[in-house]
Amino acid sequence: MLLPALSAACGEPGTETSQRFLASAYDSVQAVLTNLGTIREQRRQSGGDIRGRLTANEEDLLRAAVVFTGAGLDATLKRLIRDTLPRLLETSEQAHGKFEEFAARRLGTGEIADTKMVARYLTSQNPRERLIEDYVYELTGSSLQSADEVGKTAAALGIDDKSLRKRIVDLKTLFVARNQISHELDLRAPERQGERARRARAMRPTMQLCHEGLEVGQLIINAVGDSLVGSAAAG
């Protein structure tokens, strides 16, 4: 019941805390899966049949692994935004472009300016820093509950790698499962008599979902690290 290792960490200054967050999430998910393996082995040794669908308690451990994965990815990306976005805005055209879009929305729509909001920034000691603070808050103020929101975060960080962006889109399955568990406790209306009232969770596909979610988090950290290295070299 071991998760495959994640890609090697970039180790770039500025990404250390988000890297620790991701490592902690990986360890938590792995601990849940280890406990699941122990429980199944104990059941086998006591004469139980471990073939077929897992018990309800065993499926609950898989549900916990999915929730831990989603929470870990959420915390990791929020930390990455807070720690690296101000630097990225100085060097990444894509990151700066997303920041400009935010500023345009913040200060008004079309040809109509929000005079109160404009005044708020103009009277700040450092209007740009204040605007960046509000941008960071918008990106980190609520939990990431969909692949689209992860994609928005990646775009804000200046990530335009097509293969990585596709893997982010493909996280939809993970977030559907995460939301079914977190918001609905995996409950559903049984279609046949005697059928369980909760969705089935199987080991292999659940482990694949969890690993991919954590791996995408690692690849995002590494992409940001590469961008920071590039900007430092250019400077």
Q: Tens digit of pLDDT per residue, the chain (235 long)? A: 799 999 999 999 999 999 999 999 999 999 999 999 999 999 999 998 888 889 999 999 999 999 999 999 999 999 999 999 999 999 899 999 999 999 988 887 656 667 777 888 778 889 899 999 999 999 999 899 999 999 999 999 999 999 999 999 999 999 999 999 999 999 998 877 767 889 999 999 999 999 999 999 999 999 999 999 865 555 5
Question: What is the rounded CA–CA span in Å between residue 107 and residue 89?
Answer: 19
CA 116 to CA 172: how far, in whole Å?
39
Tokens representing 190 are 């049984």
Q: Where are the domains of the chain?
A: 16-91+145-227
Token digits for 214?
């954590």
HSE at residue 231, side-chain half, CA atoms within 13 A, is 21
For the CA atoms of 62, 64, 66, 67, the dihedral, rounded to the nearest 10 degrees, stands at 170
